[in-house]
Amino acid sequence: MYRSSTQQKVKLKLVAFIREAECIGCTKCIEACPVDAILGSNKHMHTVITTECIGCKLCVAPCPVDCVDLLVLPNEKEDPIAKKQRADSIKNRFRARKKRLAHTENNNNLYADKKTYIAEAILRTKAKKIKPI
């Protein structure tokens, strides 16, 4: 009884694993990963950086071919200093990802603004050509 209740309280260390033979390279798992622990590109196989994976399970659901598994790593006593360094690394990767995504979104908005500006300029030019002088 005591052992089972203790085992339930122990937090298992999970890590994502991609069955590369089944991966179609859709990049949905890459987009879902909050710490950029998945490497790959469109239509190429993906792989997980196991030392960076936090086991959050966010990459499992978006996978259309269900090739992402969560594996349980053996519980090893982690040095408190190493644990803090790992937490800091994860935090830094998360912040870097948020910054990169914000920059990408700003660039997309800028691109859309330029396209709108060009389309409006073309319309103004066409309107001038149609107007009788």
Q: How does pLDDT run across 10-69, given as a tens digit for each residue? A: 677 899 999 989 999 999 999 999 998 999 888 888 899 988 899 999 999 999 999 999
- 26 and 50 together in one domain: yes
Tokens linked to 13: 């260390």
Query: Is residue 67, in this structure, part of any structural domain at all?
Result: yes
| Total domains in the fold of the chain | 2
> What is the pTM (predicted TM-score) of this model?
0.59
Pair 102, 69 in one domain: no
Domain final residue pick, 53, 76, 99? 76
Model confidence at 4, pLDDT cuts 50, 70, 90, reads low
- Residue 46 CA to residue 52 CA, distance in Å, equals 15
Residue 84 lies in a domain: yes
Residue 117 is given by DSSP the state: H
49 within domain boundaries: yes
State both tokens at 132. Answer: 């009788």
Highest-confidence segment of 3-12, 59-68, 100-109 = 59-68
Assess whether 33 and 62 both reside in one domain: yes
Containing structural domain, residue 50: 12-76
Residue 48 lies in a domain: yes
